[in-house]
């Protein structure tokens, strides 16, 4: 994770991070990365683990696809609030984790995140944390409050995290691409913080917005809802065209292909 993200940051590039919900998501994401010839991050969230009833099956499948890929593929635990889940992910062999302690008071957030960092670093696993309120989820600040550059620098120094997700105007689960990001704030945080920055809720940004945040200093860019919408639209098209279809491969396959094509396009856009 450090190599892939650090190399992107050093080169002024963005790296796409896309959420795995079904096995076909992981397959499509890897296929799109191979088409683009660029590294990618496969993200398995705490919510996805709950959906499948366990973290292990979907994570091991993602790790298997990563090992077989023709490009670097990072497998990442996303938005974990449960420290035990972080420990399980590390034992399974993930490359990085995102521990979200944003619901905790500042002192508890720092202490817990620091303990997570120590555990993960001992196993060679990198840690992402979040500071600020990204819309669509509850966090440590009131909704709409942006990440303060000085506070971000202090948090990174106190915890030792390897990357930091910041609140600069995006919101989780947006189905329209009309979010407005404060790129001046992105640049100020990037100048203050010595680790790569992460943008959550990036489905709400259009192509110009995605390119602008990378130019301003954002490195890892998380996109999920936008891809899910394309996947679902392809499935709907097949079922609407022929209501007699019952084989899931007949409609999930086109969803996977639509996702793969957009992943390839987005990776090229973010890379610049």
Q: Domains of the chain, with CATH numbers?
A: 2-271 (3.20.20.70)
82 is catalytic: no
Catalytic residue among 3, 78, 184, 207: 78
Would you write out the chain's pLDDT as a tens digit for each of its 272 residues? Answer: 458 888 899 889 999 999 999 999 999 999 999 999 999 999 999 999 999 999 999 999 999 999 999 999 999 999 999 999 999 999 999 999 999 987 888 889 999 999 999 999 999 999 999 875 444 444 433 445 778 899 999 999 999 999 999 988 666 656 566 567 788 899 999 999 999 999 987 877 889 989 999 999 999 999 999 999 999 999 999 999 999 999 999 999 999 999 999 999 999 999 98
State the burial class of residue 83 (Cβ atoms within 10 Å of its Cβ: 0-12, 13-18, 19+): middle
Q: Shortest CA distance to 124 belongs to which of 151, 161, 94? A: 94
Burial code (b: 16+ CB inside 10 Å, e: under 16) for 142-174 equals eeeebbbbeebbbbbeebbbbbbbbbbbbbbeb
């Amino acid at each position: 994770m450090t190599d892939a993200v650090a190399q992107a940051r050093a080169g002024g590039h963005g790296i796409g991070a896309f959420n795995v919900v079904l096995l076909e998501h992981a397959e499509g994401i890897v296929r799109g990365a191979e088409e683009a010839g660029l590294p990618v991050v496969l993200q398995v969230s705490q919510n996805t683990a709950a959906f499948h009833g366990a973290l292990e099956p979907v994570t091991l499948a993602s790790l298997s696809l990563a090992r077989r890929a023709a490009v670097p593929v990072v497998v990442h635990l996303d938005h974990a609030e449960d420290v035990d889940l972080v420990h399980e992910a590390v034992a399974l062999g993930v490359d990085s984790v995102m521990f979200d302690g944003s619901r905790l008071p500042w002192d508890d957030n720092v202490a817990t995140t620091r303990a997570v960092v120590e555990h993960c670093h001992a196993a060679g696993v990198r840690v992402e944390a979040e500071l600020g309120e990204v819309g669509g989820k509850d966090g440590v600040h009131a909704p709409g409050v942006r990440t303060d550059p000085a506070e971000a620098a202090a948090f990174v120094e106190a915890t030792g995290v390897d990357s930091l997700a910041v609140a600069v105007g995006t919101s989780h689960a947006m189905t329209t691409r009309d979010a407005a990001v404060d790129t001046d704030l992105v640049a100020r945080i990037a100048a203050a913080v010595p680790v790569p920055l992460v943008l959550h809720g990036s489905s709400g940004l259009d192509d110009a917005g995605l390119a602008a945040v990378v130019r301003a200093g954002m490195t890892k860019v998380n996109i999920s809802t936008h891809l899910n919408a394309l996947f679902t639209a392809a499935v709907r098209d097949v079922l609407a065209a022929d209501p007699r279809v019952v084989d899931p491969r007949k409609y999930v396959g086109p969803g996977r292909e639509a996702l793969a094509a957009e992943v390839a396009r987005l990776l090229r856009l973010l890379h610049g």
